[in-house]
Chain A
Amino acid sequence: MKPSKSLEELQAIAKRIRREIVEMIGAAKSGHPGGSLSAVEILTTLFFDCLRHDPSNPAWEDRDRFILSKGHAAPVLYSVLAEAGYTPKDKLNTLRKLGSPYQGHPDKRFIPVLEASTGSLGQGLSIGLGMALAARLDGRPFRTYVVLGDGEIQEGQIWEAAMFAAFHKVDNIVAIVDYNRIQLDGFVKDIMEIEPLADKWRGFGWHTIECDGHSIPALQAAFADAAATKGKPTVVIAHTVKGKGVSFMENNPKFHGTAPTPAEVELALKELQ
């Protein structure tokens, strides 16, 4: 269906996406760079290696479903969708501006190929479960992937969904936790500790994989492991660095929700050559 891309090609895409994230948030003068940059390899691996999808046929009923439950990382999703050919690349820098398809948080009304409108944390896993149940009911082969934030899983609804998925043996869904260890108010461990995270998911009955969330081969292996797992849902705890790729944003809570200045954009783009 699609020629598989080499690791070098995937890494080149990831770098391009990082540059676009910095540029579009810089142009918008607001947005969430840190959690977009941390998820670059996760979304790159999904959209350009793992997902069964066809940008020339976005309504394909058997396409794999993707939901960015941590909707504030919209810039990484927009850059990936544009790279894949779903949406216009030349409009990325209209992010957050009147009339732009690239709304502050993902909005199906503006980008119909989105599987869900998100931005209110905690909801994407439940929506993904509904899609996964529909696939099972109709005997369709598609799988559903949901990217969660680490802060996001403080929401109770995530654990309602986690309990449901294991009880109903939903094995065609994969949750990916972008574990970058920072949320708006600071470090996750200081706001509301979520450890022991792997034990929590295991305790809820999920096949639990931990990996380096910036290693494309590690993510590829994790998604293959998930696809081979029957009878239970899989979670991939992807260990990441908030702001990955831009030295002054890395591991810096300030860049959860602050746009870079024009000078910072310039500096960041230099680092992302």
Chain B
Amino acid sequence: MPVNTRFELKTGMATREAFGKALAALGRENPNIVVCDADLSKSTYTSLFAKEFPERFFSCGIAEANMVGIGAGLASAGKIAFVSSFSCFVMNKGFEQLRVAVAYPNCNVKVVGTHSGISIGEDGPSQMSVEDLALACALPGFTVISPADEVATMALIRAAAAHAGPVFVRTGRAKCPIVYPAGQQFEIGRAIELIEGKDVAIIAHGLMVAEAIRAHETLEAEGVSARVIDMHTIKPLDRDMIAQAAAETGAIVVAEEHLVDGGLGVRVAQVVAETSPCVMEFVGIQNTYAESATPEQLLDKYGLLARDVAAAARRAVGRKK
């Protein structure tokens, strides 16, 4: 069922901050939760957990590979182990350890990457994680999640902790528009149709969900009925929701703050090809690294605004029949 409210999209907290708050709350409820961080706890907000539960927080220094291995060992001994850093560091420097020590033996480790995408802004491409979803989805058995706002993050971090098996959760640095009402329910693997529509379906995750909603408003004024879907779980995909959108609208746009290569779009395209082939357009980062600027300037320059999503939707609708 669509959430079906008018969306105010008021600015809320960054999803990384929501993660930190959710983690501290979980720590109060469950003494089995432990956290490892690699000298970025003030930025990842795991410092909130560390302050309350210093004995359950392990500072690993700037050594992501060791951190992931330690997380795997803690999980093997029965702990629910969260390991966190900037997404680009934990996923890239820790990838081999995520593969052999976590995914291969199906270890109960929760990896939370912060500072994903290009909206980190001024720090530039060495800190920007634009390939983390491709990497995480390449790990058999991993559940991969990209929440849209603080409400989604808090609920999905809780769901990740409750899930048996490895999970990657992608969060961002920038303050983020609030999409969901407090108390919204989330289920891993079940996408949320935010807005009904029949001409085109916009499937988005993370920061781009709010842009998709804004694009819907523009399109509505032009007489185009755009469905908006929050695909918060990148793996496993909600295949039914995708197949239904493809069959009912005949045009799909996927919008994401990630490389188009290996992102949600190509995963959705696979499902569309296997179920109900239709026109598709892809909004994302095109085979490049970004640069230093404000988040707003970067989202504008690299084509990740509502304007770009709406243009893709128009192209998709125009290509139908």
B68, B73, B97: the one within 8 Å of A131 (CB): B73
Tell me the bound Cα distance from A157 to B96 in angstroms: 11
Tell me the bound Cα distance from A120 to B104 in angstroms: 11
The answer to the question of A84 belonging to the interface, with a C-beta cut-off of 8 Å to chain B, is: no
B-facing residues in A134-179 (Cβ within 8 Å): 134-135, 137, 156-157, 160-161, 163-164, 167-168
Q: Do B58 and A168 have beta carbons less than 8 Å apart? A: yes
Tell me the bound Cα distance from A161 to B74 in angstroms: 14
Interface centre among B71, B77, B79 (most CB of A within 10 A): B77
Q: Do A127 and B60 have beta carbons less than 8 Å apart? A: no
Tell me the bound Cα distance from A260 to B264 in angstroms: 49
Tell me how far the C-beta of B164 lies from the nearest C-beta in chain A, rounded to whole angstroms: 15
A-facing residues in B46-61 (Cβ within 8 Å): 55-56, 58, 60-61
The answer to the question of A80 belonging to the interface, with a C-beta cut-off of 8 Å to chain B, is: no
Stretch from A15-23, A44-52, A108-116 contacting the other chain: A108-116
Q: Do B76 and A131 have beta carbons less than 8 Å apart? A: yes
Tell me the bound Cα distance from A115 to B72 in angstroms: 11
> Which residues of chain B have C-beta atoms less than 8 A from A130's C-beta?
69-77, 81
Q: Mark A98-130, 1 if CB is under 8 A from B, else 0.
A: 000000000111000001111110110111111
Interface centre among B73, B74, B96, B97 (most CB of A within 10 A): B73
Q: Do A164 and B60 have beta carbons less than 8 Å apart? A: yes
Task: Given A120-B96, A127-B101, A168-B58, verify A133-B70 contact (CB < 8 Å).
Answer: yes
Q: Do B55 and A137 have beta carbons less than 8 Å apart? A: yes
> What range describes how many residues of A lie at the interface?
20 to 34
Residue of A nearest to B65 (CB): A157
Tell me how far the C-beta of B63 lies from the nearest C-beta in chain A, rounded to whole angstroms: 4
Pairs A–B under 8 Å by Cβ, sample size 20: A107-B104, A116-B76, A117-B101, A117-B105, A118-B100, A119-B100, A120-B100, A126-B65, A128-B73, A129-B70, A130-B69, A130-B73, A131-B74, A133-B70, A134-B73, A134-B79, A135-B77, A137-B55, A137-B79, A163-B61
Tell me the bound Cα distance from A131 to B100 in angstroms: 16
The answer to the question of A241 belonging to the interface, with a C-beta cut-off of 8 Å to chain B, is: no
> Which residues of chain A have C-beta atoms less than 8 A from B74's C-beta?
130-131, 133-134
Give B residues with C-beta under 8 Å from A.
34, 55-56, 58, 60-61, 63, 65-79, 81, 96-97, 99-101, 104-106
Tell me the bound Cα distance from A116 to B101 in angstroms: 7
Residue of A nearest to B72 (CB): A127
The answer to the question of A68 belonging to the interface, with a C-beta cut-off of 8 Å to chain B, is: no
Q: Do A132 and B66 have beta carbons less than 8 Å apart? A: no
> Which residues of chain A have C-beta atoms less than 8 A from B58's C-beta?
133, 168
Q: Do A126 and B105 have beta carbons less than 8 Å apart? A: no
Q: What 5 A-B pairs are tightest by C-beta distance, nearest first? A: A130-B73, A126-B69, A134-B77, A160-B66, A160-B63
Tell me the bound Cα distance from A218 to B100 in angstroms: 33
> Which residues of chain B have C-beta atoms less than 8 A from A109's C-beta?
104-106
Interface centre among A119, A127, A129, A133 (most CB of B within 10 A): A127
Tell me the bound Cα distance from A61 to B79 in angstroms: 13
Residue of A nearest to B71 (CB): A130
Tell me the bound Cα distance from A91 to B65 in angstroms: 35
Tell me the bound Cα distance from A43 to B72 in angstroms: 23
